[in-house]
């Protein structure tokens, strides 16, 4: 009887492992299909009271606003900042806002209010320099060259290898020295962290996006597309399909998709080539 115990325990462990894997897969599927289902919502009492009291002034610029100042990105006087939830995000977010985008209609500001330490908003033509960090930054924007979220890590690693290959075209160097340099750069590239650290979004109407998207400062970034999400935003853009998301929706759905991908077993999240 004692001889069969280890075999029995091993079978139980395998069964438990399969059960956990199935549970994780089901949880991931539900989270992907119903991304708003398990939200932990803070109390709206502070906003209800503010709405009853009407507009109040921004403590920074003095402007009269409801709930928050869309110029200074802070709550107004009658919305205590300590009662607004602060969200920690898994990566940094840059939002490039079109200068003609109406501030009061921009949903990018909602992200800045809830995660001020993780979100930065820039008004075009102001765009940060990404060239030196393009192996850890991606742009969320649909197009023929865009990749899926699960392919991000693969393409960032590929970008590092391509950059290494492009640095060593100095034909004036002796072949042996050039080869050693290439080998050293490749070894260095393997030590680099290819984890996505920053994601870029464009905040504008869809008719205005082309001017920002075609800017040369964004052309070197990996392009990512959210293909399966539909907008729930009450102010839908007329004449556009329901897959055209508002900025805050795009941010939320991207983060949910990344979280779901990390929940999957490693063998499921690999990109087959």
pLDDT in tens, 7-38: 555 555 555 555 444 444 444 454 556 666 77
Q: Which one-letter DSSP state was computed for residue 220? A: T
Across the strands, what pairs with 97?
123, 203
Q: What total number of domains does the chain contain?
A: 2
- Tell whether 80 and 202 lie within a shared domain: no
Residue 168 included in any domain: no
pLDDT in tens, 230-262: 777 656 556 565 667 889 989 999 998 888 877
Q: What pLDDT is stored for residue 154 in this prediction?
A: 92
- Tell whether 208 and 257 lie within a shared domain: yes
Q: What pLDDT is stored for residue 226 in this prediction?
A: 86
- Tell whether 64 and 153 lie within a shared domain: no
Q: Higher-confidence residue: 89 or 163?
A: 89
Cα radius of gyration (the chain)? 24
Residue 96, φ and ψ in degrees, nearest 5: -100, 110
Tokens of 20: 């956990």
Q: What is the pTM assigned to this prediction?
A: 0.73
In this prediction, residues 72-87 reach a mean pLDDT of 92
- Tell whether 92 and 121 lie within a shared domain: yes
Residue 6 included in any domain: no
Answer whether residue 225 shows pLDDT above 50: yes
Residue 27 included in any domain: no
- Tell whether 124 and 146 lie within a shared domain: yes
- Tell whether 78 and 92 lie within a shared domain: no
Range of the domain at 68: 43-84
Apex 246 CA angle, 76 and 29, nearest 5: 115
In this prediction, residues 190-211 reach a mean pLDDT of 79
Q: What pLDDT is stored for residue 104 in this prediction?
A: 87
- Tell whether 78 and 142 lie within a shared domain: no
Write out the E strands in 43-195: 56-57, 64-65, 68-69, 74-75, 92-97, 119-123, 137-140
- d(Cα 272, Cα 150) in Å, to the nearest integer? 11
Residue 207 included in any domain: yes
Residue 23 included in any domain: no
- Tell whether 144 and 220 lie within a shared domain: yes
Residue 200 included in any domain: yes
- Tell whether 48 and 145 lie within a shared domain: no
Lowest mean pLDDT among 47-56, 78-87, 186-195: 186-195
Residue ending a domain, choose from 84, 101, 134: 84
165, 167, 179 from 175: Cα distances, Å? 15, 15, 6
Q: What is the mean pLDDT of the chain?
A: 78
Residue 240 included in any domain: yes
- Tell whether 139 and 60 lie within a shared domain: no
Residue ending a domain, choose from 84, 116, 146: 84
pLDDT in tens, 128-180: 999 888 899 999 998 889 999 999 999 999 888 876 655 444 445 454 544 44
Burial class of residue 263 (count of CB atoms within 10 Å of its CB; 0-12, 13-18, 19+): middle
Residue ending a domain, choose from 26, 56, 84: 84
- Tell whether 78 and 96 lie within a shared domain: no
In this prediction, residues 32-53 reach a mean pLDDT of 81
Answer whether residue 112 shows pLDDT above 90: yes
- Tell whether 79 and 198 lie within a shared domain: no
- d(Cα 140, Cα 143) in Å, to the nearest integer? 10
Q: What pLDDT is stored for residue 270 in this prediction?
A: 46
Residue 66 included in any domain: yes
């Amino acid at each position: 009887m004692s001889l069969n115990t280890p075999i029995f325990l091993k079978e139980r462990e395998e069964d438990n492992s399969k059960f956990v894997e199935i549970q994780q897969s089901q949880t991931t599927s539900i989270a992907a299909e119903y991304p708003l289902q398990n939200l932990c919502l803070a109390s709206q009492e502070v906003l209800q009271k503010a709405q009853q009291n009407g507009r109040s002034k921004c403590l920074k610029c003095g402007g009269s606003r409801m709930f928050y100042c869309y110029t200074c990105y802070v709550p107004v006087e009658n919305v205590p900042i300590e009662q607004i939830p602060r969200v920690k995000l898994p990566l940094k977010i840059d939002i490039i806002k079109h200068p003609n985008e109406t501030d009061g209609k921009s949903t990018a500001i909602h992200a800045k209010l809830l995660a001020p330490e993780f979100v930065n908003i820039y008004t075009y033509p102001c765009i940060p320099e990404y060239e030196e960090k393009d192996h850890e930054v991606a742009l969320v924007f649909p197009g023929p060259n865009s990749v899926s979220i699960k392919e991000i890590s693969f393409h960032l690693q590929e970008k590092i290898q391509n950059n290494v290959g492009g640095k060593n075209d100095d034909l004036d160097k002796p072949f042996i020295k050039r080869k050693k340099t290439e080998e050293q750069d490749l070894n260095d590239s393997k030590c680099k962290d290819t984890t996505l650290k920053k994601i870029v979004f464009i905040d504008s109407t869809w008719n205005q996006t082309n001017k920002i998207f075609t800017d040369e400062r964004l052309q070197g970034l990996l392009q990512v597309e959210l293909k399966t999400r539909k907008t729930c935003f009450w102010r839908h853009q007329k004449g556009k399909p329901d897959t055209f998301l508002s900025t805050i929706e795009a941010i939320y759905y991207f983060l949910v998709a990344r979280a779901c991908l990390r929940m999957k077993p490693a063998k499921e999240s690999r990109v087959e080539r």
